[in-house]
Amino acid sequence: MADTSDTRTPAQIEADIKRRREVLAETLDEIGVRVHPKTIVGDAKAKVVSNIDHTVGRAYVQLNRVVSEVRASLVDDEGAPRLERVVPVALLAAGVVGLLVLGTRRRKG
């Protein structure tokens, strides 16, 4: 059987009760802050911003890779343009710009 005798003085018991109340009050304050709507919204915003930053970072890396691959396909090892590849791309770009200009003029007219 467990020993239930307490050898503390009434003043020690009161001091212990006071300490425990203070710890409990701190814990309740902390819980109150955690469940406060502003805290919840702030945490959600931070998580969304973090996810967006991560997504943008991944998109940047992917775009950089694609640009590097396109550039590598348009120049040779010495950095000189490969005309057999550059000319068709330039003609295609000029055609797209021309179509956009014509489309814009038709809408205004």
- The number of angstroms, rounded, from the C-alpha of 48 to the middle of its chain's C-alpha atoms is 6
**pTM given for the model:** 0.46
Residue 59 has what pLDDT?
96
- How large is the angle between the packed helices 37-74 and 83-108, nearest 10 degrees? 120
pLDDT tens readout for residues 57-93: 999 999 999 999 988 888 888 888 888 988 998 999 9
Residue 1 has what pLDDT?
52
